[in-house]
Amino acid sequence: MYDLAIIGAGWAGFNAGLKARKLGLQTVLIDKSEIGGTCLNLGCIPTKALIQSAKVFNLVKKSSAFGINTSVPAIDFVKIQERKDKIIQQLRLGMRSMLKDIDFLSAEAQILSANEIKVSGSSPVQAKNILIAAGSMPYELPQFKFDAKKILSSNEILSLKAIPGSLLIVGGGVIGCEFASLFLSLGSKVTVVEKMPQLLPGEDKETARKLENIFKKKGIKINTATDASSLNPDDFDIILVCVGRVPRTEGLGLEKLGLKLERSRIITDDYLCTNINNIYAAGDCASKIMLAHLASFQGRLAAQNIAQPDNRKSAAAACVPSCIFTDPEIASIGLSEDKAIANGLSVDIHKFDFLGSGMARILDEAEGFIKIISGQNSGIVLGASIIGPKATELIGILTLAVANSLSIKNLRQSIFAHPTLSESISEALE
């Protein structure tokens, strides 16, 4: 009998397996798909690989501004896709090599009882504990059924053989905005339709407005507060539907087991334990926030709580940054200005525009700003929003500040190197 059986080899399950091995648990990892889950195969890694190719293309196009004369650049989309696939394969092999002393079963799993899992093509797996890390999948709209030809999910669009002439993106959230930015750079005519009043619902309003203005200047058509059914599908070569994701829990036998669910999401306590005391859940299938870095954190924490039941740690206080790889990038942590005000908090807003950054000027990426929110009386950093160059890297500094309840005074006393983008944080506080 295994100490731990993990269903799902994505970021949550994989990292849980590594942590469990380190803590001495005999572990088996079960997944019917490729190791790495959505993030490696159909999400974070492939999209960012494509985005990087688009960034290089954009940089080459404006190379004359840097005093570099080049011939007219051209896109080889087949090679872009081959590079993406090679990166995935290399990382997948690396992850496989890290599974030493962890059994990996490439199979479908169904939980029969609190200690037994039915595995396709193999004998049932017996385990003292079970961790469900089954991930998520794209949500499908009734009026826009995925057909893998014209109406695509965020999974299928990654395998396009050619760049679409025109692209309608249904959903102006994180995924929609990233693909809008990508395909505009590659030469598509892009239209985004979002049912909510702003792009990136839930993000800081000022940041979202800034991105919308930049998108419009670049030629993306934006339709907010609009139902997608009001547009004519025949006007577009490809329709990408990305209106969210749903937990992948169907077929696992959870209802028969009596596991508590809420709209297919597994309900856990702060320690990631379900209502059955030896079954835990982590990642997209159990989290309201579907982010790979949170899934990884939860997977490790779940394994630790299983291995050390007398010293369990809570996942409730996790400080989770949001990163959006548009051009320009967007990142946020903690409370936005809007949420702080909605919560009745008295706050100070510290802001710096990248137009004043020497390094942003050097990079020719001076559009955007840093906004830091602190408590008016305490001076504690409550949150931050960034739109601009390397926002997804810069947010790490402010994540540390929020997670450790640092004050504006603490940050002001830190010396940031010059010339760098990070010194814009200290500039925002002066």
Distance CA 344, CA 48 (A): 37
Annotate 96-111 with b (16+ C-beta within 10 A) or e (fewer): eeebeebebbbebbbb
Number of Cβ atoms within 10 Å of the Cβ of 229: 12
Strand partners, 372: 350, 384
Is residue 418 annotated as part of the catalytic site, yes or no? yes
Lookup: tokens for 5:
């059986």
By the 8 A CB rule, do 168 and 238 touch? yes
Strand 116-119 to 109-113 pairing = antiparallel
Q: What sign for the dihedral angle of Cα 275, 277, 279, 283?
A: positive
CA dihedral 47, 52, 53, 57 (to 10 degrees): 140
DSSP 141: B
Lookup: tokens for 359:
């390094």
Distance CA 193, CA 47 (A): 20
Distance CA 219, CA 181 (A): 10
Closest C-alpha among 223, 164, 218, 214 to residue 192: 223
What is the residue type of 143?
A: Q
By the 8 A CB rule, do 282 and 299 touch? yes
420 HSE (CA, 13 A, CB side): 11
**Helices (H), ranges, 150-248:** 174-185, 205-218
Phi, psi of 49 (to 5 degrees): -65, -45
3-state class of 27 per DSSP? Answer: strand
Among residues 271, 418, 422, 429, the one annotated as catalytic is 418
By the 8 A CB rule, do 10 and 295 touch? yes
Number of Cβ atoms within 10 Å of the Cβ of 225: 10
Q: Which residues are catalytic?
A: 418
